[in-house]
Every structure is written in structure tokens, then in C-alpha cells.
Structure 1
Amino acid sequence: MSRVLTVPDAERVAATVVAGFRDVPDFPEPGVVFKDITPLLADASAFATVVAALAEVARATGATAVAGIEARGFMLAAPAAERAGLGFWPIRKAGKLPAPVHRRDYALEYGTAALELSAHTVGAGERVLVVDDVLATGGTARAACELLEEAGAEVVGLAVLLELGFLDGRPQLGQRPVLALHTEA
């Protein structure tokens, strides 16, 4: 059974997340509602609230590093890592890092993609918290976790601002602990 991740003052943090998202219909294609975090990032108080919550999750899990998934995960993971006194590991889209890299190919609902991590980043036994903005179908998050595990790290959890529960992405992550600061059912 996986451990449950929590944050102090969860209701206030969830309200901050909800207020910070903007729905953009039919982007990037018809029928998709894009979840824009720009309003949250532009509000210093809201941004500080979510960064503090993510840093607390990193400390509570005993993480030795925080990994962010390109691109919006970077905006959250890097300041959370700094606030928790930890290193930040960027998980990049394929072709953005010089060799040698660890690579994980995965399927998307509309094609395939790959994630990469610098081979110089991960030490065996590192404990890493993975951070992203949205958990939707779970494919990208699962690929990021598997990439880290294949490189020798232990994924201590996945933390996201928003989980789109109706897309059922959480089961894709197996027994890895997941924390969503807010869930849309």
C-alpha cells in the first residue's frame, strides 16, 4: 500500500490552485481544454503558496532531489527544490540534452514521445520527488517515474497542482504516492 502524501492547510492551498488556473477551450486542438497556470505564476502570493506546499512535500517524503517535467513542471519544481534545500533535476523532452542521457519512450493518446535525463544527474539510491503541473492520463508522469527508476533513483512521490480525475491517470502510476493540490472529479 502506498503512503498518502498531504500538505498543511490543504483547503487553502487547493483554493489557491483553483483560483490560479485559467481554462482555454479548444487548445491545442478542438475538444481539449488547456489548463493555463500563467495566472498562478503571475500572482506572487499564490506562487509562493504552491511552492511552499511542494517544498513541504519534498521534505516530508525524505527526498534528496526534486525532478520537474518539461516545461511547466520546471517552473514549480525548481523553486520548490531550492526552498527545501535540495537539488533540481530537469526531465527534458528528447533532443534537448547533450549525451550521455537516460531515455524513456512512451505512448501518448495522440502519438509517441520521449523524455530524457542527463546521465550525470542521478546517483544510485537517490530519493526523488517528481513535480508537474497537471496529472491527466498519466502517461508522461509514468514515463518520468520509470526513467528515474531505470537510472537508479527511488521515486518517493509525484506532486501536481491539479489532477484531472475524470481522465483516470492515477492508476498509471502504480503504487507510487501521488499528491494533487486540487482534483477536478
Structure 2
Amino acid sequence: MTRVTGLVLAAGEGRRYGMPKALVPHHGRLFVESTVDRLRAAGCARIIVVAGAAADQVRAADLGDAEVVDNPDWPTGMGSSLRRGIEALQEETRREELAVAVMTVDLPGVTAEAIGRVIAHADADVLAAATYHGRRGHPVLIGREHWQGVKEVARGDQGARAYLRRHDVTEIACEDVADGQDVDRPEDLP
């Protein structure tokens, strides 16, 4: 296992999809279950799932030993879920944790191999992101030295974007092993 925590942002209501995307069934698993599975397969030692719109159903999903934390501010956007996830890390930081690998729940094409490729860069001061054909995507790897800074700027649906723009980010090409396209509507499913 790595010294990286996986963080799944799964709190939204999925307005464009017509239901919370965490609960979308795909290849026999819910999106939230599959995301947890891939983070675990990539070697994340600990996994935190941030739930909101469908918190009870997310808690009832097959998530193994993943921790579920509630985000009561989920309607304000993904930034609040990222803040809540970082707060959970800061509340119970294990000394050996170097970084967090952030995934949104609507990325069924991001493979464990792509996640593993990114988390192989884990360090306390790292900022790294998978790229797909030159565009940044997920996972985003945030070293523990950056957690507070990211938490302070994460707002609306921007997440860590503003923080990442102001810092050097290691980009890791993953298009040869994954598809970083998010699923916004049912017709986007692969």
C-alpha cells in the first residue's frame, strides 16, 4: 500500500444526469463503488468518500472500509466537498500519509493503472495531475504541505483549480491507459 489517501468527491445531486452520479449503476457497480475499488486497486491505503445529496444511499453502498463523511454544504459546489475531505484528513491525519489522490465520482474511464501512475509521485510537497491528450484531469495528487492552501481557495465548482494555477504541477500523461472524460448525462456513458 502507498502512503496516499484516496478522496472521492461524491456529494452532488447530478442535475444534468437526472440523479446523483454516485448512484449511477455501471458494469454491475455504482459509480461510487467503482471509484473506491479503483483507488484501492491502485494502492491507496485509506479512502474517504464525501457524500451529500444522497448521503444515506452512499453510506449503504458496498464501500468496504472506506470512510464516508457528510458535506452539508454540497449545494454550493464541488469546492465544499474538497474542503470537507481535506478537513477529514486534517482531523485524523496519520503521520505516514504523504498525499491525497482526489477523484470525482463521475469518471468511470479512469483506471486503477492511471491512478497508480499518478500516486507513484507521492510526496508531502507534490502537486500532480493526470493528463489526457494534453488536458489536466483526475486524479489530482495533493501533498500534505498543500492541503491547507487548497482548502482555503476551494470554492464553487472550481475545486483546487485556482490553487493549482498558482503552483507548479507535475503532469502525468495517462491517455494510453485511461479515458479521463467525465459523465454528465446518461448518453455520455461509455
TM range (shorter): 0.3 to 0.5
Given the two structures, how large is their TM-score scaled by the length of structure 1? Answer: 0.35
Q: Larger relative CO (CA 8 A, sep 6+): 1 or 2? A: 2
Given the two structures, how large is their TM-score scaled by the length of structure 2? Answer: 0.34
Is the radius of gyration larger for structure 1 or structure 2? 1
